[in-house]
């Protein structure tokens, strides 16, 4: 059969990380590739207890197993509006809160309501790989804004706003993916001022704020805004479980109602059982105890990876040292192309992601992203040792 696919499928390929997943079913593979929380970090016993309680309530569970409203399970909308107070959003209202099927859906819905074919979005360079992929499905263009140690360069941002007239600016300002960077408060204010001045929406994607194991918390950009310019997107994937596929989006009512219309067409609603589990987790006060348990483990793994990098990687490899999140991002001063080493690494049972895939133009070849949360301590040590040998040309 000769299928007549839509134009938007032209040139669309699986993103690099999804491709790498194919190799990860091999149990001997050490993966620094995905953004997966550690399997050991899932609150299995708490979730088992929550499910038992939900199923004990015969009337309650029948409601949960029924179709639900697109906006979300009412108790979770309330607890999500409460949850975002942790990032300084003091006045989130339930009616401004949309429950989404993972943080990824919030990005997709924002694209759906704002983008026409050929429209532009500004992203930090480098940015979350999936955003570049989503933008292609809307036949939109991503332009990268230069970024330094403390986040995007606001002069470059303003210049590119004037040049490209973007529909929105997509940012991960806290423990960003892929770099682990966090923007200081002054930078956040400047970004907001610039966006408001030019009438551009800011999409603040924040799945990582609560994975902080060092430094002081910084308020979200959304918490600084009184104009409705910011869409705040968060997820329970990294702090409870990605398998729940549950997150929340907080924005101006007009934006939320348009996103809700599109969500209705996409999946009707986020699975209510997942929503009820996430709600009971938040409402039951389990989050703080859970974070207290997992954050020292993540800190330990980050330190191990940094130490192994110091010991085994070539001296010209410089990398970030984040206070939270799941990633270290590094660059080789020699300017090698990390893609040239990728298959050799896979053959030697170590997976990473080429940094170039995170850049809007895909053109900074000497970079890599390394995830430190998923592997064991022993795997981090031996995996980085193998990578060191490969990048030094010893394997
Ligand atoms: C920056 C960023 N946004 C969104 C997501 C998607 O999260 P979810 O699994 O909740 O869809 C991720 C996942 O890695 C991410 O890193």
* Model pLDDT, residue 220: 98
What is residue 324's DSSP assignment? B
Q: How far is the CA of 203 from the centre of ligand 1 (A)?
A: 13
Evaluate whether residue 304 is within a structural domain: yes
Same domain, 278 and 305: no
pLDDT tens digits, residue range 253-282? 999 999 999 999 999 999 999 999 999 999
In the predicted model, what is the mean pLDDT of residues 35-59?
Answer: 94
- Domain-embedded: residue 61: no
Partners of 330 in the β-ladder: 319, 368
- Top pLDDT among 286 and 11 is at 286
Is 262 within a domain?
Answer: yes
Report the share of the chain in percent with pLDDT over 90: 91
User: What's the CA-to-centroid distance between 74 and ligand 1, angstroms?
Assistant: 23
Query: What is the distance in angstroms between the CA of the first residue and the CA of the last residue of the chain?
Result: 46
Q: Which of 16, 135, 177, 266 to mutate to test the pocket of ligand 1 (most atoms within 8 A of CB)?
A: 177
Residue 24 in this model has a pLDDT that exceeds 80: no
Task: Tell me, using a 6 A CB cutoff, whether residue 123 lines ligand 1.
Answer: no
- Counting the structural domains of the chain, the total is 2
- Residue 386 pLDDT exceeds 70: yes
Position 52 in a domain: no
pLDDT, residue 39, reads: 86
Range of lowest pLDDT (16-25, 86-95, 175-184): 16-25
* For range 32-50, the mean pLDDT: 93
pLDDT at residue number 17: 66
Q: 79: pLDDT confidence band, cut at 50, 70 and 90?
A: very high
Single residue among 286, 307, 332 that ends a domain in this structure: 286
Distance, in Å, from the CA atom of 233 to the CA atom of 354, rounded to the nearest integer, reads 26
Quote the percentage of the chain above a pLDDT of 70.
Answer: 98
pLDDT digits (tens, 9 = 90+) for 133-179: 999 999 999 999 999 999 999 999 999 999 999 999 999 999 999 99
Whether 15 has a pLDDT exceeding 70, the answer reads: no
- In order of 7, 67, 70, 202, 334, the CA distances from 128 in angstroms are 24, 32, 27, 15, 25
DSSP helix/strand/coil, 171: strand
Residue 73: which CATH number?
3.40.640.10
Average pLDDT, the chain: 95
Tell me, rounded to whole angstroms, the distance of Cα 75 from its chain centroid.
25
If asked whether residues 296 and 275 sit together in one domain, one would say no
Of 1-10, 203-212, 332-341, which one has max mean pLDDT?
203-212
Is residue 351 situated within a structural domain? yes
Indicate whether 255 and 294 sit together in one domain.
Answer: no
The domain of 116 spans 67-286
- Tell whether ligand 1 has an atom less than 6 A from the beta carbon of residue 207: yes
* CA atoms within a 13 Å half-sphere pointing along the CA-CB vector of 190: 15
For residue 308, pLDDT over 90 is answered with: yes
Q: Is the CB of 247 under 6 A from ligand 1?
A: yes
The confidence score (pLDDT) of residue 26 equals 86
Which atom of ligand 1 approaches the CA of 326 most closely? 16
Tell me, yes or no, whether 271 and 355 share the same domain.
no
Dihedral of CA 60/41/372/302: which sign?
positive
Question: For position 11, what pLDDT does the model report?
Answer: 75
Q: Which atom of ligand 1 is nearest to the CA of 105?
A: 11
Is the same domain home to 379 and 330? yes
Using the predicted structure, report yes or no on whether residue 193 has a pLDDT greater than 80.
Answer: yes
pLDDT band at 38 (very low <50, low <70, confident <90, very high): confident
Dist CA 205 CA 186 (whole Å): 18
- For ligand 1, mutation pick of 17, 20, 80, 103 (most atoms within 8 Å of CB): 103
Q: Which residues pair with 202 in a beta bridge?
A: 169, 230
Q: pLDDT band at residue 71, thresholds of 50, 70 and 90?
A: very high
Entry pTM: 0.96
Question: What pLDDT is stored for residue 167 in this prediction?
Answer: 98
- Closest ligand 1 atom to the C-alpha of 237? 10
Residue 102 near ligand 1, beta carbon < 6 Å: yes
Instruction: Ligand 1, residue 104: give the atom nearest the CA.
Output: 11
322 and 378 together in one domain: yes
Q: Is the CB of 126 under 6 A from ligand 1?
A: no
Same domain for 262 and 306, yes or no, is no
Pair 31, 92 in one domain: no
Residue of 20, 34, 104, 123 with the most ligand 1 atoms within 8 Å of its CB, for mutation: 104
Q: What is the 312 CA–ligand 1 centroid distance (Å)? A: 30
In a domain, residue 51? The reply is: no
Residue nearest to atom 14 of ligand 1 (CA): 35
Measured from the Cα of 247, ligand 1's closest atom is 10
Token pair of 276 as six digits = 């009820």
- Where a domain ends, among 229, 264, 286? 286
The reply to whether 244 and 336 lie within a common domain is no
Q: What is the pLDDT of residues 217-266, one digit of tens each?
A: 999 999 999 999 999 999 999 999 999 999 999 999 999 999 999 999 99
The per-residue pLDDT for 246 is 98
* 109 inside domain: yes
Residue at a domain's end among 286, 317, 348: 286
CATH of the domain at 380: 3.90.1150.10
State which H helix or E strand residue 147 sits in: strand 147-148
Q: Does residue 73 belong to any structural domain of this protein? A: yes
Answer yes or no: do 240 and 152 share one domain. Answer: yes
Burial group, residue 243, by CB count within 10 angstroms (0-12, 13-18, 19+):
exposed
Q: Is 104 in the pocket of ligand 1 (CB under 6 A)?
A: yes
Q: What are 168's strand-pairing partners?
A: 121, 201
75 and 215 fall within a common domain: yes
Residue 46 backbone phi and psi in degrees, to 5:
-60, -45
Query: Does the beta carbon of 178 lie inside 6 Å of ligand 1?
Result: no
Q: Is 233 in the same domain as 292?
A: no
pLDDT attached to residue 13: 77
| Antiparallel, parallel or unpaired: β 97-100 and 30-31 | unpaired
């Amino acid at each position: 059969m000769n299928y007549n696919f839509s134009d938007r499928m032209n040139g669309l390929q699986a993103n690099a990380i999804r491709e790498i997943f194919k190799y990860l079913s091999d149990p001997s593979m050490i993966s620094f590739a995905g953004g997966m929380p550690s399997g050991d970090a899932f609150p299995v016993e708490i979730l088992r207890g929550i499910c038992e309680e939900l199923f004990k309530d015969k009337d309650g569970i029948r409601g949960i197993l029924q179709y639900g409203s697109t906006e979300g399970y009412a108790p979770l909308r309330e607890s999500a509006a409460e949850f975002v107070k942790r990032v300084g959003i003091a006045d989130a209202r339930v009616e401004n809160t949309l429950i989404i099927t993972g943080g990824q859906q919030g990005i997709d819905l924002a694209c759906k309501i704002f983008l026409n074919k050929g429209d532009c979005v500004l992203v930090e360079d480098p940015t979350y790989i999936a955003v570049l992929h989503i933008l292609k499905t809307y036949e939109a263009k991503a332009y990268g804004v230069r970024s330094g140690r403390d986040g995007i360069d606001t002069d470059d941002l303003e210049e590119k706003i004037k040049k490209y007239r973007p529909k929105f600016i997509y940012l991960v300002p806290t423990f960003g993916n892929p770099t682990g960077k966090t923007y200081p408060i002054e930078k956040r204010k400047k970004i907001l001022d610039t966006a408001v001045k030019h009438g551009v929406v800011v999409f603040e994607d924040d799945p990582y704020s609560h994975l902080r194991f060092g430094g002081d918390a910084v308020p979200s950009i959304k918490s600084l805004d009184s104009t409705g310019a910011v869409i705040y997107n968060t997820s329970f994937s990294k702090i409870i479980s990605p398998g729940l596929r549950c997150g929340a989006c907080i924005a101006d009512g007009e934006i939320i109602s348009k996103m809700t219309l599109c969500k209705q067409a996409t999946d009707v609603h986020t699975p209510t059982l997942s929503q009820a589990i996430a709600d009971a987790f938040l409402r039951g006060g389990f989050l703080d105890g859970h974070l207290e348990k997992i954050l020292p483990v993540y800190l330990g793994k980050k330190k191990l990876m940094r130490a192994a990098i110091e010991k085994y990687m070539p001296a010209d490899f410089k990398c970030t040292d984040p206070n939270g999140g799941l990633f270290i991002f590094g660059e080789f001063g020699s300017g090698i192309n990390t893609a040239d080493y990728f298959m050799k690494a896979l053959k030697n049972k170590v997976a990473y992601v080429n940094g170039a895939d995170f850049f809007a133009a895909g053109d900074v070849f000497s970079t890599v992203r390394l995830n430190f949360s998923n592997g064991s301590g022993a795997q981090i040590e031996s995996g980085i040792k193998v990578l060191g040998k490969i990048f030094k040309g010893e394997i």
